[in-house]
Amino acid sequence: MLHSIFASDLHLCPTRPAINKIFFDFLHGPAVQADSLYILGDLFEYWAGDDDDDPFNASVLSALRELSGRGVALYLMHGNRDFLIGGRFTAACHARLLPDPTLVNLYGTPTLLMHGDTLCTDDVRYLDFRTEVRNPAWQSQFLAQSLAKRRQIIAGLRSENAEEKKLKAEEIMDATRTGIDAALREHGYPRLIHGHTHRPALHQHMVDGHRCERWVLADWYTSGSYLACDAAGCRAIRLPSA
């Protein structure tokens, strides 16, 4: 049966070999059987620019290129960690970069795809930061610096973010009813699939009298999983450990 699969928040990096193996096995297993693979943000733990020559990044790119070469349509969306992925990377692995949000017709069901960070409307400090770093002028200035300098800046931001998270209430970093309802309303009350919050679940929302299904994708910090969708609906699948 025709089906598409969705994953997000993989946070791939060289220091997590067990999860990396699960990811590469996933590309050679379930992903090959799908019509399309959607990665809805944070494929990488961080992304310093398409010129990053780290061998691990090259291995991920090669594996994605192999998958798309086998006829699987590949779609990527920016997350809050890898929003600097650009045309050089996507062209090299034959992926299409989707805007956030993107509305698709998924086997007859209108489905809204998002990373999910913009749904966390109570996290005002983060949303202000997001606006700043998504500005093309900011990105041009950042990418004009040496790769070594960019990596240094990112390391500092990651450390600062980790400390800030310790001071935030958990609820602030979750999707809000206000953000969810607004997104569903704006796009005609579709099904919603997103990641970012690391709180995998299936939710049912009533918005203006419309029942909407919302799937939250799991992160890949301790194990791998994906969402498989076809004409009959969606189901969450956990991958075997490495």
What tens digit of pLDDT does each residue of 190-207 get?
999 999 999 999 999 999
Averaged pLDDT for residues 31-35: 97
Evaluate if residue 155 carries a pLDDT over 80.
Answer: yes
**Residue 160: band (very low, low, confident or very high) from pLDDT cuts 50, 70, 90:** confident
**159 compared with 40, residue with greater pLDDT:** 40
Q: Give the pLDDT confidence of 81-103 residue by residue, as tens digits.
A: 999 999 999 999 999 999 999 99
Please give the average per-residue pLDDT across 71-77, as a whole number: 98
Look at 38 and 161; give whichever has higher pLDDT: 38
Smallest CA-to-CA distance from 95 within 153, 38, 165 is with: 38
Contact 65/102 with Cβ under 8 angstroms? no
Helix, strand, coil: what percent of the chain each, to 5? 40, 25, 35
**What is the pLDDT at residue 53?**
87
Of 83, 74, 60, the C-alpha closest to 13 is 60
Please state the pTM of the whole predicted model: 0.96
In the predicted model, what is the mean pLDDT of residues 25-53?
Answer: 97
- pLDDT score of 19: 96
In this model, does residue 168 exceed pLDDT 90? no
Is the per-residue pLDDT at 114 higher than 90? yes
pLDDT at 162 over 90: no
- pLDDT band at 170, cuts 50/70/90? confident
The secondary structure of residue 231, as a DSSP letter, is T
pLDDT of residue 242: 65
Residue 11, phi-psi category: left (phi > 0), alpha (psi -120 to 50), beta (remainder): left
Cα 34 to the center of its chain, rounded Å: 18
For the chain, domains (ranges, CATH) are 4-238 (3.60.21.10)
- The two structure tokens encoding residue 241: 């450990």
pLDDT class of 62 with cuts at 50, 70, 90 = very high
**Cα gap 187→102, rounded to integer Å:** 9
3-state secondary structure of 155: helix
Q: What is the pLDDT of residues 173-191, one digit of tens each?
A: 899 999 999 999 999 999 9
Considering the chain, what is the average pLDDT of its residues? 95
Using an 8 Å Cβ cutoff, are 113 and 102 in contact?
yes
